[in-house]
Amino acid sequence: NDKTPFQGWPTDEIDRVWLDSYLPGIVSTIDSHSASQLLDQTERLPLAGREDEYVITLDVFHQMHCLDIVRMALYRDRYDKHFYFPNGTVDYCKWLHVDHCLDQVRQALVCNADVSVVHYAWSDTVQGNRPRVDNQHTCRNYTKILEWASTRSIEAQDWHPSRHVVEDENGGFRIEKGRNHALDGQGECNAV
């Protein structure tokens, strides 16, 4: 019955614990050498004077964000994450985001496939065998991963997902702005 700080009926304090666990790592930067080692190319940081930095997110922070989105979807009255418009019709974009997040968590679980053993113990209360989930896990040091990402984090006001760096004909850079339909409510639901 020991609860972690992430558990319980939603409060401002619990919300802060969740946000602090992933928000500093949502958008980080790496140098050009590190970017050249990636399997897939990533975008340059669209910030004047920082075009030699590249934008990444360690997937664990995306996964934590997604788990938080699923958590918030459970508490419709507290969060604006429910799936319906006031007239009762489905808000497809909100539903799609939660559906995407649920599948991201599923993929993370399958990919990481924790094989720690859950043992069973007799419960006098229910008069039956019950799984004990207080088992030992072998984990990565999440705090160190979060610290690494935090030192490379981009301030929210500096990050514009609808901007990107384009190399000009003189070998310099310019920042171009796209029209992000996910932010203006038009087009398909591409905010996931």
Query: Where are the chain's structural domains?
Result: 12-184
- Give, for 115, the enclosing helix (H) or strand (E): none
CB 83 within 8 A of CB 94: yes
Q: Tell me which of 4-8, 43-47, 83-87, 182-186 is least confident.
A: 182-186
Residue 20, φ and ψ in degrees, nearest 5: -65, -20
Q: Would you place residue 120 in the very low, low, confident or very high pLDDT band (cuts 50, 70, 90)? A: very high
Q: Average pLDDT, stretch 100-120?
A: 94
Please tell me the distance from the alpha carbon of residue 160 to that of residue 37, in angstroms, as a whole number.
24
The answer, yes or no, to whether residue 182 has pLDDT greater than 80, is no
As a whole number, the mean pLDDT across the chain is 87
CA separation, residue 27 to residues 94, 97, 145 (Å): 22, 18, 13
Q: Would you place residue 157 in the very low, low, confident or very high pLDDT band (cuts 50, 70, 90)? A: low
Q: Average pLDDT, stretch 98-110?
A: 96
pLDDT at position 156: 67
Please tell me the distance from the alpha carbon of residue 27 to that of residue 58, in angstroms, as a whole number.
8
Q: Average pLDDT, stretch 27-41?
A: 96
Q: What is the torsional sign of CA 114, 120, 123, 128? A: positive
Say what the pTM is. 0.82
Please classify residue 44 by burial: count the beta carbons closer than 10 Å to its beta carbon, then call 0-12 exposed, 13-18 middle and 19+ buried.
buried
Q: In 3D, which of 126, 150, 189, 138 has the Cα closest to residue 61?
A: 150
Q: Hey, what are 140's tokens?
A: 């990565």
The answer, yes or no, to whether residue 190 has pLDDT greater than 80, is no
The answer, yes or no, to whether residue 179 has pLDDT greater than 70, is no
Spell out the residues 6+ positions from residue 106 whose beta carbon is closer than 8 angstroms to its own: none
pLDDT at position 112: 92
What 3-state DSSP class applies to 122? strand
Spell out the residues 6+ positions from residue 45 whose beta carbon is closer than 8 angstroms to its own: 29, 51, 53, 54, 55, 154, 165
CB 61 within 8 A of CB 147: no
Q: Average pLDDT, stretch 51-61?
A: 94
The answer, yes or no, to whether residue 181 has pLDDT greater than 90, is no
Provide, rounded to the nearest whole percent, the portion of the chain with pLDDT above 70.
90
